[in-house]
Amino acid sequence: MRLRELKLQGFRNLQDLRVEPSTGFNVIWGDNAQGKTNLLEAIYLLGQLKSFRSNRRETLIKIGRDEARLSAGICMSGVCHRFELLLTREGQSADIDGKRIVNAAEMLGRLKTVLFTSEEISLIRGNPGGRRSLLDRAIFQTNSGFLQIARDFQRCLKQRNRLLKLAAEDAQLRPWSQKLAESGARLRQAREIFLQRLRPRLRDCYRTICGGTEEVDLGFSERIGLTTDDLLAELHRTAARERQYQQTLAGPHRDDLQFRIDGRPLKNYGSQGQQRSFLLAFKTAQVLDLEEQTRQSPVLLLDDLNSELDSFRRNAFFEFLLAHRGQVFLTTTDISSLRERDLNPIRCFEIKAGKVQPDPSMDS
Amino acid sequence: MLDSIPSFARLVAELAKFPGIGKKTATRLAFFLLRQPRAEAEALAGAILELKEKIGFCSRCFHITESDPCPICTDPGRDEGLLCVVEQPQDLIAIERSRSFRGRYHVLQGALSPLDGIGPDQLRFSELLQRLKGGAVRELLVATNFTVEGDATALYLAGQVRPLGIRVTRLAHGIPTGSDLEFVDDATVNRAVEGRRDL
């Protein structure tokens, strides 16, 4: 999967731009607060239709402009497509090859990207919701049916919670419990299938890329049941408390995905360095899994990772990147250390006050 | 611009209230009507008024009808023992079009959706139970939509009806007939695989 051309108009602080990235490495460099991450964000948006930094669309539109227009030429499986995303304050619309996409799910996840950003460390440290979303976003890229499964479950959950708020009688609650258990079991199964594939890769990546000697693992905190009947039994056990708290207390929306190191929660027992390594190993394992499942290399977006990693991990990680056949975009403030590496083919873009200038001296 | 022609603007505004019709299409339709002979416009206006005057709901099955009870409820050639439950009149019409079902119907006029404030009391549930208690029905075919809400409605119905000793069935779902597997969406294929049957 390759991004051949990227055109941005009215996006964030960036001046209108058009770039033709390298098929290999693309280094976006410049001082802090110049707009480097905004470029990564634009690419991410074209794949996910959602930003990784802000849920508010209006913040994506340049001050003084009415709309932001993102356009990209993307080659996948030998065919080039044009993806366009138009953001206005009222809403967003997407076109592929000039045809309007009515159902966002048609575009969502077509451009597969894997984002590496140290900001996601907060997901490891934070509440279970963040870790679940890290997992669910990864699953969605390999399993297009997962979106529908997740949507059905969310819908059931909202409907059932409303009934609990209304203190509805059991006869009314029962069909929603059944539907919640069915869709919830499907969601848990999809997560478990993904985790089973990811675990061995995660261990491997942690050892080879991060040089960690600890045993790492990830999984849900207690033995959670994977069948509809299991979930129905859980709902039955929590029934009295559900009435009290007026919300659904058992199900995949409450399952705690634990990142573990030597059998203990990484969140409480891992050092900062171990947490960073874990995240890096998780993402790397995700890339490898995605390549195997889709037979295509995702576009890697690395936000300021260079400064995060100590030199050992940096070397092993760059070895992984060099072996990776896909396209890489990375931001950095320190271009000199990258010059020493044999990254090829490479193209550099310097960003100054929102303005992008390709640097011909670094082109190969 | 339309403000200077109030009668035209009014028609456009009324037409734009239709589902699936925006201001552009409404303007096109209004120009079309303008070019039509007066008799055509009168026929349309008459048809709309007649619709509102003549059509009501059948007091037995709650399908739309001009006579009460409706022709389906009074048709002697239908099987009294088979009752098909649908959400909306248009669902009934879809099943009738297929000519595959020769029983009677009951239109719930919606599906359970607590988020929209729709519970059993907002639907034609109690009327359905009354009909079933009459004793003639052997089998209830639940043909609510295959959405989260339609499924929950079906489950609720099954829970209420089974104690009466009536068989409850649900429409099958999966790959549409005459379609190529390759063009069917992932979620449908997924469900079809889950719901596979022995040959």
Q: Which distant-in-sequence residues (6+ apart) come within 8 Å of B97 by Cβ?
A: none
Element (H, E) at A86: strand A79-88
The residue among A185, A165, A166 whose CA lies nearest residue A232 is: A185
A171 and B156 in contact by Cβ < 8 A?
A: yes
For A305, the 3-state DSSP assignment is coil
Residues within 8 A of B (CB atoms), A 268-287 only: none
Q: How many CB atoms lie within 10 A of CB B68?
A: 12
Per-residue pLDDT tens listing for chain B (199 residues): 677 889 999 999 999 999 999 899 999 999 999 999 999 999 999 999 999 999 999 999 999 999 999 999 999 999 999 999 999 999 999 999 999 999 999 999 999 999 999 999 999 999 999 999 998 999 999 999 999 999 999 999 999 999 999 999 999 888 888 888 888 877 788 778 888 888 8
Which amino acid is residue A136, in one-letter code?
Answer: D
Which domains are delineated in chain A? 1-112+296-364 (3.40.50.300), 127-293 (1.20.1050.90)
A156 CB within 8 Å of a chain B CB: yes
The residue among A64, A59, A20, A67 whose CA lies nearest residue A38 is: A59
CATH number for region B2-54: 1.10.8.420
Per-residue pLDDT tens listing for chain A (364 residues): 899 999 999 999 999 999 999 999 999 999 888 899 999 999 999 998 888 887 788 899 999 999 999 999 999 888 999 999 999 998 889 999 998 888 777 788 889 999 998 888 888 888 889 899 999 999 998 888 898 899 999 999 999 999 999 999 999 999 999 999 999 999 999 999 999 999 999 999 999 887 778 899 999 876 788 999 999 999 999 999 999 999 999 999 999 999 999 989 898 898 888 888 899 899 999 999 999 998 889 999 999 876 666 777 778 888 888 888 889 999 988 888 777 787 888 899 999 989 987 665 544 4
The residue among B31, B39, B36 whose CA lies nearest residue B11 is: B31
Q: How many CB atoms lie within 10 A of CB A18?
A: 11
Distance from CA of B113 to the nearest CA of A (A): 7
CA distance B48 to B16: 16
Q: What is the DSSP string of A117-168?
A: EGGGHHHHHS-HHHHHHHHHHHHHHH-TTHHHHHHHHHHHHHHHHHHHHTT-
Q: Domains of chain B: which residue ranges?
A: 2-54, 77-170
CA distance A289 to A220: 20
The residue among B99, B105, B98, B100 whose CA lies nearest residue B142 is: B105
Task: Name the H helices within chain B.
Answer: 6-15, 23-35, 38-54, 71-74, 89-98, 125-133, 148-161, 186-194
Q: Report yes or no for ipTM above 0.95.
A: no
In chain B, what residues touch A163 (CB-CB under 8 Å)? 114
CA distance A147 to B154: 24
Q: What is the pLDDT of residues B83-95, one digit of tens each?
A: 999 999 999 999 9
Q: Read off the DSSP letter of residue A11.
A: B
Q: Which two tokens stand for residue A80?
A: 């080039």
- Burial class, A336, CB count within 10 angstroms (exposed 0-12 / middle 13-18 / buried 19+): exposed
| B78-98 as b/e: b if 16+ CB within 10 A | eeeebbbbbbbbebbeebeee
Q: Which two tokens stand for residue A180?
A: 């919640």
Q: What is the dihedral of CA A26, A32, A37, A39, to 10 degrees?
A: -60
Q: Read off the DSSP letter of residue A4.
A: E
Rounded to 5 degrees, φ, ψ at B80 are: -65, -25
Q: Which distant-in-sequence residues (6+ apart) come within 8 Å of B59 by Cβ?
A: B68, B69
Q: Which two tokens stand for residue A281?
A: 């190993």
**Smallest CA–CA distance from B190 into chain A, residue:** A145
CA distance A105 to A82: 17
Q: Is A37 annotated as a binding residue?
A: yes
Query: Is residue A219 within 8 Å of A200, Cβ to Cβ?
Result: no
Q: What is the pLDDT of residues B55-82, one digit of tens each?
A: 999 999 999 999 999 999 999 999 999 9
In chain A, what residues touch B186 (CB-CB under 8 Å)? 144-145, 148
B155 and A156 in contact by Cβ < 8 A?
A: no
Query: Is residue A28 within 8 Å of A40, Cβ to Cβ?
Result: yes
Q: Is A229 annotated as a binding residue?
A: no
CA distance A139 to A147: 9
**Residue from A161, A162, A232 whose CB has the most chain B CBs within 10 Å, to mutate:** A162
Fold of B77-170: Dna Topoisomerase Vi A Subunit; Chain: A, domain 2 (3.40.1360)
CA distance A218 to A223: 13
The Cα-based distances of A288 to A97, A121, A198, A202, B181 in angstroms read 29, 21, 9, 10, 29
The residues pairing with A218 across neighbouring beta strands, listed in sequence order, are A259
A227 CB within 8 Å of a chain B CB: no
The residue among B141, B140, B144, B134 whose CA lies nearest residue B166 is: B140
B151 and A179 in contact by Cβ < 8 A?
A: yes
So what's the pLDDT on residue A358?
Answer: 60
